[in-house]
Structure formats: structure tokens, C-alpha cells
A = this chain, B = another copy of it.
């Protein structure tokens, strides 16, 4: 009997701690847990089906990720984000990515990696050229966009910077992909994609040409495109529904 029966494997192959982390983060992002109110460990235990130990692990991690805040008398509560918080988070992400681009330009990036990114950008061009925007093609765009951004960080080659950006991007509405799906239901979606893609090209060109300051400046402006998306999305509940973690954003 070498083949054990593992019907739960696809869900249970990961440790209970990981399971708890993913499940709890899911609950938070979905808005099942109201911001501000205390999270009862036991209620999570019975919802997720693991014991308190991994749940507590997940709580600590999610506090570090920024989704929870510790309550002085013990325990945790879901954090509420103001609109200003979200704009600041985006600006901060832009500044950090800007540093990544500048470092890549100043220090020089390996040729093969640059070619690889160039290929990714060509893919995006082809996608945009097709002129029809479907949910599927948009998801594809989101993926390509996300990989451009992670490639960019990779180019900088700095572990410390990577760590900081990972933290900034942990909040989904601060990530480069946060507002792209929201963009899809907006009237000028195609126009925004064209602008964003041109910025991608400029960023890469600046890095290739070793123009550190230019690379940094364009990346920052690129992040502000996300801020503009947010501003527009805030007036459209259809868009907001496409934003992960929108439930955590408290309206003024």
C-alpha cells in the first residue's frame, strides 16, 4: 500500500498554518469580517476548521501584513482604511518601485532579462491591438502587467528593496494590479491601457539607456495612474466590486 488515500490533499497538502492564513485573509478581503470589530479566535476556528494554534499564527502574520491591528486588551481587529490611506499606499509603492527602476538603470541590468521584459511588453501590445476587451483578455492583461512589475523589481537586484515592496504590495489595493480590473468597466479603459503601456516602454527605455532619474520619475507617474483609477472607481460601485479588499476602505 504505497498509495495513501489523500482525498483532501489538494486542500490539506499545505500546512494548517498556511490554510488558516489563506482562509482568514480571504474572509477579510471578502469583507466577511467587519473592520474595527474584534476577531474572536474561536469563531475563526469553527469557520476554518483548524485549531487555535495555526489561527493565532495567521493573526500575527496578517497583523504584520497590515490587515489587522492589535487591540490593547488583547486580540486583533480588522483594520479600516481611509481613502487617504489608500492613496498614500499607492504613492509609497510608486516611490519604492521608482527606486527599483533607478537602481536598475544606475547599476545596469543583464541583457537577457531586458530582452525577456521586452517580450512581455510585446505581448501586451498585441493584446491591446486586438481592440476587443473581454473579461478574459483583461485577466490576461492583469497577469502580464503584474509580471512586468515584478520583473522591474527583479532588475534592481536588491533583497532589501524587494522585501519593502512585497510589504507595500501586500495590501491588494496598493498593488499594481489592484485597480486594473476596476478599470475594465470604465469607459476609457482602452485609453488608459494605451497610456500605461507607453509608460512601461518609457521605463524600460530609461533603464536600458541608464537614465536613472527618468526611470524613477516615470515609474512614480505610472503609480499615479492607479491613483487616478481609484479616484474614478470610488464613484462607481460597479468598479468598486472588482477591487479586492474594497470592503476595508471606509467611505468618508
Contact = CB atoms under 8 A, between A and B. Distances in A.
Contact of A57 (B60, B66, B164): B60
Interface string A203-245: 0000000000000000000000000000000000000000000
Contact of A160 (B64, B92, B159): B92
Given A60-B61, A61-B60, A96-B95, A88 B167 contact: no
A91 interface: yes
Interface string A137-169: 000000000000000000000111101100110
A246 interface: no
Contact of A159 (B85, B91, B96, B164): B85
B61 A164 contact: no
A88 B168 contact: no
A158 B60 contact: no
A160 B88 contact: yes
A114 interface: no
A31 B96 CA distance: 30
A246 to B, nearest CB: 17
A92 B96 contact: yes
Interface in A173-210: 174
Contacts of A160: 85, 88-89, 92, 174
Contacts of A85: 158-160
A121 interface: no
A164 B60 CA distance: 17
Given A95-B99, A96-B95, A167-B167, A88 B57 contact: no
Interface string A92-133: 100110110001000000000000000000000000000000
Contacts of A168: 164
Interface in A51-68: 56-57, 60-61, 64, 66
Interface of A: 56-57, 60-61, 64, 66, 84-85, 88-89, 91-92, 95-96, 98-99, 103, 158-161, 163-164, 167-168, 174
For the complex of A and B, 10 pairs with smallest distance between CB atoms: A64-B64, A88-B160, A88-B158, A89-B160, A95-B99, A60-B60, A92-B161, A85-B160, A92-B164, A92-B160
